[in-house]
Amino acid sequence: MGPTRFSISCGLILCAFGASHALAQSIEPRAYSPAPVGTHFAIVALTDSRGAIPTDPDLPLSDIDINVRAVLLAYATSLNLFGKSAKFDFIAPVGRLKGEATYFGEPIERDVSGLGDPLARMTILLHGAPAMNLDEFRKYKQDLLLGASVQVSIPMGQYAEDRLLNLGTNRWAIKPELGASKSWGRWTLETAVGVTFFTTNDEFFGGHKREQKPIYSAQGHVIYNLAPGTWIALNLSWFGGGRTTIDGVKDDNLQKNWRAGAVIAVPLNRRFSLKANASTGVSTRTGNSYDLYGIALQYRWGTGG
């Protein structure tokens, strides 16, 4: 095994701004892949989105001309959990939202900077990847992996009750997910299904009560390993549901959306690797018509590295 064979996924890292919606809409290859116990990762990423608002795509906006740029700082570590390979990761986004749109015929605009909602997640591989030290991992060959994760969006981001456009969402969100990964030589196929639940925002745009039904999601990835540590992935995700209610009145914003994207990862040396991604809405019913681009630098260290 080369020293750069393993890395954490950057899909969520590059889609995490507006965290509670990224839980449902992320395109994330290699989320269910193992690493030696005791390996740590630090990631810094830059993202740029244009079009609809990834921080809150359910808003009934038109004539949207909004740009969100963010710096994402993340940490991940591989663990031994009941003898299984596991991972904990945490992401903190900081960014700027700037632009204008129309809300029920009224023009609105915003230029705001600050913290987005952080994300925390625990992942465990239930089948196909026991907890391994570095020597054991060198001999490991992936076949079928089955895993599960729980991710939480923490409402710590910038939020103003009297403004419609914000970087935070002022509510908790939790996403349980099941994933599977199967390798054939250089090729790997992955899939994951999940559901995101939201708490109530009691301070929505002037003190209104905003609730949201769960968003159901599914994603698939085709990954080709070019060389140790170098891979490319083509990705497709679907998400549906998520209709919102304001003061008991239902909005016409049921989601039935598709996104597609690609990710490439390249090692720079034994410790550093570079990842880049791009994604776009390919079929949109509500709030998915935005393009997102990102690049991430990852540093790896620890007893497993």
The pLDDT confidence band at residue 288, using thresholds 50, 70 and 90, is low
* Domain span holding position 107: 13-302
Mean of pLDDT values over 158-175: 94
pLDDT, residue 167, reads 92
Q: How confident is the model at residue 18 (pLDDT cuts 50, 70, 90)?
A: very low
Q: Across all residues in the chain, what is the average pLDDT?
A: 87
245 domain-assigned: yes
pTM: 0.89
50-59, 95-104, 196-205, 237-246, range with greatest mean pLDDT: 196-205
Output the pLDDT for position 58: 72
Q: Which of 17-21, 58-62, 189-193, 286-290 has the highest mean pLDDT?
A: 189-193
Better-scored residue on pLDDT, 10 or 225: 225
Whether the predicted pLDDT of 5 surpasses 60: no
198 falls within a domain? yes
What mean pLDDT do residues 57-74 have? 84
What's the number of domains the chain is made of? Answer: 1
Residue type (1 letter), 6: F
Q: How do residues 213-267 score in pLDDT, each as one tens digit?
A: 999 999 999 999 998 889 999 999 998 998 999 999 988 878 888 889 999 999 9
Give a yes or no: residue 182 inside a domain: yes
4 found inside a domain? no
> What is the structure's pLDDT at 29?
87
In a domain, 282, yes or no: yes
Binned at pLDDT 50, 70 and 90, residue 53 comes out as low
> Does residue 6 lie in a domain region?
no
Percentage of residues of the chain with pLDDT beyond 70: 87
- Answer whether residue 172 is part of any domain: yes
Q: Is the pLDDT of residue 21 over 70?
A: no
Answer whether residue 208 shows pLDDT above 70. Answer: yes
pLDDT at 228: 86
Q: Is the pLDDT of residue 142 over 90?
A: yes
Task: Give me the CATH number covering residue 48.
Answer: 2.40.128.130
Q: Does pLDDT of 92 surpass 90?
A: yes
As a whole number, mean pLDDT of residues 122-134 equals: 96
- Is 7 a member of any domain? no
pLDDT band at 6 (very low <50, low <70, confident <90, very high): low
Reported as a single tens digit per residue, the pLDDT across 95-124 is 999 998 888 888 999 999 999 999 999 999
Range with lowest mean pLDDT among 9-23, 76-90, 206-220: 9-23
